[in-house]
Chain A
Amino acid sequence: MKREPPRTIADYAPLAFPAIMLIVFFVVPFSTMIAVSFFRRQQGGFYTPDFVIDNYARFLSAFFGGVLGFSLMLAITVAVICVAIAFPFTYLLTKASRRVQIVWLVCLLSVLSLSEVIIGFAWSTLFSRTAGITNLLVPLGLMSESQALLPGIGAVLTGMVYQALPYTILVLYPALVRLDPTLLEAARTLGASPLRGFFGIIVPALRNTIVATLIMVFVFALGSYLLPQILGRPQHWTLSVHITDQAIYQSNMPFAAAMAVFLVLISLALVGLTLLVGGRKEVA
């Protein structure tokens, strides 16, 4: 029973249900959203079919330019921090015993699957005045009295790194675990220190992986919508938060849709870039 092209209609039958589901409930909603982004908004939360580009034009205002710039900068910062921590960590993890690896993977998956609501709540507790980390610093004499560390950009950044770090590690894991161990052994035999071997051999060998991971984490961080609300001030709201806000609270679906389409374009461009980078031959 070799792999063969489908010949009869019956051969296509298994494809029918998944295809219908994905088209009806993903392609159609997605297209609906694009269509709505060109619709005209009506007072009272409704919209009428039309073809206007006002929703996109509004995007060119200074306010939303600022929001976009802030969202991109925030996502880039999160991506860089996460990869900087996760790359050496994942490398060390792949060198550990299988048992240790499995325990870590279970923990990482558990944190990764945590709801953004729970992450936000956990960090807001940790940064709060009454139950926060500053309570530990007071007895140590590092601080005169406990204080709240939120809302603020530091809190938003910490929460987002917390959310994205397990994701980064799990994206890097396959590439690092498959890395040819003889590469580093050769370097060591030739007299390189472990640190030099890591930065001189491993990092350059996985340059493309690192770039691809940076982009994936960037897109992941762009999707964060609750942490900026829970841990930050309104000026820390990202594009994702504004999309939700416009759709639900301002009842401006066309504008929300236009912002979402814009976000899709940015993400798609970056995912495409990842595929290009990943498609090139890795040395390892």
Chain B
Amino acid sequence: MMETFLRRLGFALVALFLAGPLIVVAGVSVNERQSLSFPPQGFSIAWYSQIFTDPGWRAALIASVLLAAFSAALAVIIALPLSWFLWRRVAPWANVFRLLGVAPFILPPVITALGLLTFWATIGFYGQPWTAVISHAIFFVTLPLVTLSLGFSSIDRSLVEVAATMGADERTVLRTVVLPLILPYLISGYAFAFVLSLNEYIVAYMTVGFTMETLPIKIFNALRYGYTPTMASVSIFFVAIAALVFSLIARFGDLPRLLGAMSSEEK
């Protein structure tokens, strides 16, 4: 009894803390007039349509989505052969590259951002939109790398051996056995990188901040000049995207396992 009560209380408090600011922002985002007030006065979803109709916000949204889509794809393209090689071969020294892939994510982000800023400035491409794609891909390569490594480690090696015994060559095994098995991990790795890239500020700001506005950069710039309700609606829009993507991963994949729990059968 006591334990159930304590658990409910703990869950409720943490939920309130995590949801509190978002509830207020959601309330603010439906204010009828352009004022920062809560509880909202009137009800209007005009600030949501503003994301798509206002040229400035729309451009930022498109820039962010393109950046996230391309950089997540590049991150997966880097992570896939690397994690496959580490799974397929005995080459302990190659783990150096796994470490390099994880490092940008573990270190404070401002370090990666500053490193890339000096790099792009030195070779003269500072401010080009594609530099942000590469920068984000390197910054977030950890995510597909971790999910794919997990995916490979969950493959039953005897399956691969059977295929090889039956006469399948490396390429066929890869295409017909390995890839289908790791596809869910590949997709979730892409999804993680996509959502985080969408929300990333400092790396994007330091590499292309003066030439291109992603949504987080636009929100921060707008924040300096005071409040516009579109900030609130964009924030809620982003929370919704993240919740949707992670719900889909949970629906079609094994989220507890992806986050480090043992597989569900073992529990």
What is A's interface to B at a CB cutoff of 8 Å?
1-6, 11, 14-15, 17-19, 21-23, 25-30, 32-33, 36, 85, 88-89, 92-93, 95-96, 98, 101-102, 104-111, 113-126, 128, 130-133, 135, 162, 165-166, 170, 173-174, 177-178, 194, 219, 222-223, 225-226, 230, 240, 243-244, 247-248, 253, 256-257, 260, 263-264, 267-268, 271
Contacts and interface: CB of A to CB of B under 8 A. Distances in A.
Nearest to B84: A14
A122 B22 contact: yes
A131 B24 contact: yes
B167 to A, nearest CB: 12
Contacts of A121: 25, 219, 223, 231-232, 235
B48 interface: no
Given A105-B255, A125-B36, A117 B108 contact: no
Contact of B85 (A15, A29, A133): A15
Interface of B: 2-3, 6-7, 10-11, 14-15, 17-18, 20-22, 24-25, 27-28, 35-39, 77-79, 81-82, 84-85, 87-91, 94, 97, 100-101, 103-104, 106-119, 121-122, 134-135, 137-138, 141, 157, 160-161, 163-164, 170, 173, 195-196, 199-202, 206, 209, 215-217, 219-220, 223, 231-232, 235, 238-239, 242-243, 246-247, 250, 255-256, 259-262, 264, 267
Given A89-B10, A106-B250, A18 B78 contact: yes
Contacts of B264: 98
A131 B138 contact: no
B231 A223 contact: no
Most-contacted residue by chain A among B21, B79, B116, B160 (CB, 10 A): B21
B23 to A, nearest CB: 9
A125 B82 contact: no
A260 B260 contact: no
A107 B107 contact: no
Contact of A162 (B21, B109, B199): B21
Contacts of B100: 22-23, 26-27
A92 B11 contact: yes
A115 B78 contact: no
B36 A3 contact: no
B2 A125 contact: no
Contacts of B119: 25, 28-29, 32-33
Contacts of A118: 199, 216, 219, 235, 238-239
A128 to B, nearest CB: 6
Nearest to B145: A18
27 contacts: A2-B161, A3-B88, A3-B89, A5-B89, A5-B90, A6-B91, A21-B138, A26-B112, A29-B116, A106-B246, A106-B247, A106-B250, A114-B238, A115-B219, A115-B238, A116-B216, A117-B217, A122-B22, A125-B36, A126-B21, A130-B35, A131-B36, A174-B261, A226-B201, A244-B202, A264-B111, A268-B107
B154 to A, nearest CB: 15
A28 B170 CA distance: 34
B261 A107 contact: no
Nearest to A246: B114
Given A26-B104, A219-B106, 16 more contacts: A1-B163, A14-B84, A18-B81, A96-B7, A113-B199, A116-B202, A117-B217, A122-B24, A131-B27, A162-B21, A173-B261, A177-B260, A226-B201, A226-B202, A243-B114, A244-B113
Contact of A267 (B35, B82, B108, B219): B108
B115 A110 contact: no
Contacts of A105: 246, 250, 255-256, 259
Contact of A194 (B2, B14, B38, B104): B2
Contacts of B39: 135
A48 to B, nearest CB: 13
B259 A15 contact: no
B265 to A, nearest CB: 12
B6 A92 contact: yes
Nearest to B101: A22
Given A95-B7, A122-B25, A117 B239 contact: no
Given A5-B90, A25-B116, A32 B122 contact: yes
A132 B90 contact: no
A117 B223 contact: yes
Contacts of A101: 256
A114 B239 contact: yes
A118 B138 CA distance: 23
Contacts of B260: 173-174, 177
Contacts of B11: 89, 92-93, 104
Contact of B97 (A22, A128, A271): A22
Most-contacted residue by chain A among B118, B196, B267 (CB, 10 A): B118
A178 B152 CA distance: 21
Most-contacted residue by chain B among A14, A88, A113, A135 (CB, 10 A): A113
B242 A223 contact: no
